[in-house]
Structures are given as structure tokens and as C-alpha cells.
């Protein structure tokens, strides 16, 4: 069973590729959390592999992934092979330590740890990659995915090619908590009325179901900062603060907003 979370399609594409190859069902973390249940129960087949595929958000897993694991109940878990795949624009810090600790709390052991560099979608600081770099990353990601699929098929234990960056303890131990504390709000999102057609795509791709389009989008309080609303808006009408208007937009080229629809 492959559980995934994705804002702009990189992690969904990786999760789909792995699920297809391993012949495992794919489960959306965002859709599962939207059920509002305190406990999220799944029945495992014998020997079933359990995977978590998600983007890096400030050198940690998205909060929704951690919330999901906290509610997860896997019926029939008998030391099944558990693995995590983080997609990132550059590096992941000590994300896997956070994943390991979170899974342990729920009685699960993280056996295989993987990361894949994919095109960057964090345009609040920095920008999207150039088209050339985006292409390079997507081609290399295919190779990495093939290797991961072989390692997962063989249930290999350990860390495999994790790109942790410089001072990973600081990235995850210091910057990630600051991000969680200060950057999770919707207060800086706004829509440029002259560009917005009211198409409703932002509402449909929102992982937190926080957007309601009544002619124009309105944001509630909850937010995962996945930036799906910003990147999937077909008229580039959604901005975050002053910094995103002149920045590029990115969505995985093999998926459309329909693949990302949450409702
Ligand atoms: C809020 C946020 C924070 C991010 N932080 C990091 C980071 O710390 N390191 C990194 O390499 N990429 C970072 N990224 C880039 C994404 O991890 C990367 O583009 C990922 O593949 C996107 O996956 P998705 O398309 O499934 O959402 C960040 C993206 C967002 C939206």
C-alpha cells in the first residue's frame, strides 16, 4: 500500500510509478484525512509493502503526512517492509529521522529510506528551475525511480542515496520548526481579480480543502503550504505575498489538475 501526499504532482508521479511496479494500491493522504476520522484503518495483505511518498517542506515531511501517520492503524501489520520516498528540489536534511520517530510512535519501523531530486516548486523563496534544469531533473528522476523500485522490490533496508544537504541537523532541527511555527498560515495568499476567471481549479486541488470559490477564491485558516493553488491556477492569478507574481510556475508535465483533484 502506497500512501502519498503531493502539491504539484512530483510525489504523485513517483508514487504512481512505484505503486504500478510493486503492484500496490495507492492511497491519498489528503483524501484520507478529509474523512475527519480519528483513526484511519487499512487492512494489509501478507508481505504487503507499505510506502510513504511526499515532498520535502522546509527539510521535513509535510505536517499532513505526520498527522496521517498519527492516525494510521494497519490491520495485519507483522513487521511488513516500510519505506519512505521524499521528493525535493535540492536536499532533504534529516527528514528521515522525523519520519522514523513518527512511525516508531505508531509501532512501525522505517526500513527503507529514499530521496529523489525533482523540479522545485517552492517559489516563496527562490524560483522554479530553468526549463533546461527541469528537464535534466525529470530525466534523472526516472533513473532514480527505477533504482528505488528495484530496491523496494528486494525490500532493501537502510538509507539509499539520501541527499541531506549541508548541516542537515540544522536544516531539520532549527529551520523546520521555524517554518512550522511561522509559515503555515493562509494570510498571505490573495487573488488578482482581473486575472481570475473563477474556474475553481484552486479549490479542487487544495490538499487542505481550505479554499472556497464563490466567484473568486477565499481561503480558510488551515494550510499545508503545498502551493497547489498557486501553481495550478491557469491564469497565474494566485499570489503569496509580494514575491510570487514575477516567479515561474511548475506542475509535473505528465499530470493534469484532474489527477490532483481532491474533491
Ligand atoms: C513549502 C515548501 C517547502 C519546500 N522546502 C524544500 C526544502 O527544504 N528542500 C528542498 O529540496 N525542496 C523543498 N521544496 C520543494 C519541493 O520539495 C519539491 O519541489 C517537491 O518535489 C514537490 O513535490 P510535489 O510536486 O509532490 O508537491 C519545498 C516546497 C514547498 C512547497
Cell of 146: 527505477
16 lines ligand 1 (CB under 6 A): no
Mean pLDDT for the chain?
97
Mean pLDDT of 46-57: 97
The pLDDT confidence band at residue 213, using thresholds 50, 70 and 90, is very high
| pLDDT score, position 262 | 66
Together in a domain, 171 and 194: no
pLDDT band at 223 (very low <50, low <70, confident <90, very high): very high
Mean pLDDT of the 35-46 span: 96
Does the Cβ of 89 fall within 6 Å of ligand 1?
yes
Which one of 16, 56, 93, 244 would you pick to mutate in the ligand 1 pocket, going by the greatest count of ligand atoms within 8 A of its CB?
Answer: 56
Beta strands, E only, 144-229: 158-160, 189-191, 211-214, 216-219
Q: Is the beta carbon of 9 within 6 A of some atom in ligand 1?
A: yes
Question: Is ligand 1 within 6 A of the CB of residue 114?
Answer: no
Q: Do residue 78 and residue 197 come from a single domain?
A: no
205 lines ligand 1 (CB under 6 A): no
pLDDT tens for residues 109-144? 999 999 999 999 999 999 999 999 999 999 999 999
78: cell is 507483522
Burial of 228 (0-12, 13-18, 19+ CB in 10 A): buried
**The three three-digit cell numbers of residue 233, written as one number:** 491556477
Average pLDDT score over residue span 204-227: 97
Q: Answer yes or no: is pLDDT of 230 > 90.
A: yes
| Whether 91 and 153 share a structural domain | yes
Mutation choice for ligand 1 from 122, 223, 231, 262, CB with most ligand atoms inside 8 A? 122
Section 191-219 average pLDDT? 97
Q: Are residues 73 and 18 in the same domain?
A: yes
Q: Crossing angle, helix 63-71 and helix 95-105, to 10 degrees?
A: 20
Residues 53 and 118 both lie in one domain: yes
Do 114 and 221 lie in one domain? The reply is: no
Q: Which of 10, 11, 117, 121, when mutated, tests ligand 1's pocket best, judged by the most ligand atoms within 8 Å of its CB?
A: 121
Indicate whether 101 and 135 sit together in one domain.
Answer: yes
Residue 12 near residue 4, CB atoms below 8 Å: yes
Instruction: Check whether residue 153 and residue 242 sit in a common domain.
Output: no
CATH number, domain at 127? 3.40.50.360
Q: Is the pLDDT of residue 178 over 70?
A: yes
CA of 45 to the centre of ligand 1 (A): 32
For ligand 1, is residue 56 a contact (CB within 6 Å)?
Answer: yes
User: Ligand 1: does its nearest atom lie under 6 Å from the Cβ of 122?
Assistant: yes
Last residue of a domain, one of 136, 160, 180: 180
Number of domains present in the structure of the chain:
2
The strand ranges marked E within 68-172 are 72-75, 82-88, 112-117, 158-160
Same domain, 51 and 166: yes
Averaged pLDDT for residues 173-196: 96
Q: Determine what percent of the chain is predicted with pLDDT higher than 90.
A: 98
When pLDDT is averaged across residues 46-55 and rounded to a whole number, the result is 97
Q: Are residues 146 and 233 in the same domain?
A: no
Pocket test for ligand 1, best of 17, 53, 55, 87 (most atoms within 8 A of CB): 55
Q: What is the arithmetic mean of pLDDT over 145-172?
A: 97
pLDDT of res. 170: 96
pLDDT at 38: 96
Which pLDDT value is given to residue 85?
Answer: 98
* Whether the Cβ atoms of residue 108 and residue 126 lie closer than 8 Å to each other: no
- Domain boundary (180, 199, 225) is at 180
Percent helix, strand and coil across the chain, each to the nearest 5: 35, 20, 50
Domain that holds residue 71: 2-180
pLDDT digits (tens, 9 = 90+) for 66-112: 999 999 999 999 999 999 999 999 999 999 999 999 999 999 999 99
One domain, residues 166 and 228: no
CATH number at residue 211: 3.30.70.20
- Cβ–Cβ < 8 Å for 68, 103: no
Q: Which of 79, 116, 84 is nearest to 97 (CA)?
A: 84
State whether the Cα torsion 140-60-262-181 is positive or negative. negative
Q: Is it the case that residue 263 has pLDDT exceeding 80?
A: no
> Given this model, what pLDDT does residue 89 score?
98
Same domain? 28 vs 97: yes
Q: Which of 125, 147, 180 delimits the end of a domain?
A: 180
- 131-153 vs 10-22: helix axis angle to the nearest 10? 30
Average pLDDT over residues 187-194: 97
Say what the pTM is.
0.98
What sign for the dihedral angle of Cα 101, 105, 106, 110? Answer: positive
Q: Are 228 and 112 in contact (CB under 8 A)?
A: no
- DSSP SS3 for 61: coil
Look up residue 237 and give its DSSP letter: -
Amino acid at each position: 500500500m502506497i500512501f502519498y501526499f503531493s502539491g504539484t504532482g512530483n510525489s504523485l508521479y513517483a508514487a504512481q510509478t512505484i505503486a504500478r511496479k510493486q503492484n500496490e494500491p495507492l492511497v491519498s493522504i489528503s483524501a484520507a484525512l478529509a474523512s475527519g476520522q480519528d483513526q484511519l484503518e487499512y487492512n494489509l495483505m501478507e508481505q504487503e509493502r507499505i510506502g510513504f511518498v511526499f515532498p520535502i517542506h522546509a527539510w521535513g515531511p509535510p505536517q499532513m503526512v505526520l498527522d496521517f501517520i498519527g492516525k494510521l492503524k494497519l490491520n495485519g501489520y507483522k513487521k511488513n517492509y516500510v519505506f519512505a520516498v521524499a521528493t525535493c528540489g535540492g536536499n532533504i536534511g534529516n527528514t528521515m529521522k522525523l519520519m522514523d520517530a513518527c512511525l516508531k510512535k505508531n509501532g512501525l519501523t522505517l526500513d527503507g529510506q529514499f530521496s529523489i531530486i525533482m523540479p522545485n516548486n517552492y517559489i516563496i523563496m527562490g524560483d522554479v528551475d530553468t526549463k533546461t534544469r527541469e528537464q535534466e531533473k525529470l530525466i534523472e528522476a526516472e533513473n532514480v525511480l527505477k533504482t528505488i523500485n528495484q530496491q523496494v522490490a528486494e525490500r532493501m533496508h537502510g538509507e539509499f542515496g539520501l541527499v541531506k544537504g549541508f548541516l542537515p541537523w540544522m536544516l531539520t532541527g532549527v529551520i523546520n520548526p521555524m517554518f512550522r511555527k511561522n509559515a503555515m498560515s493562509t494570510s498571505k495568499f490573495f487573488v488578482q481579480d482581473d486575472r481570475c476567471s473563477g474556474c475553481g481549479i484552486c479549490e479542487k486541488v487544495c490538499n487542505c480543502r481550505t479554499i472556497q470559490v464563490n466567484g473568486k477564491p477565499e481561503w480558510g485558516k488551515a494550510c499545508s503550504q503545498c502551493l497547489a493553488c498557486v501553481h495550478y491556477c491557469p491564469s497565474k492569478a494566485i499570489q503569496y505575498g509580494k514575491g510570487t507574481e514575477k516567479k515561474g510556475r511548475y506542475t509535473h508535465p505528465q499530470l493534469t489538475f484532474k489527477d490532483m483533484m481532491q474533491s
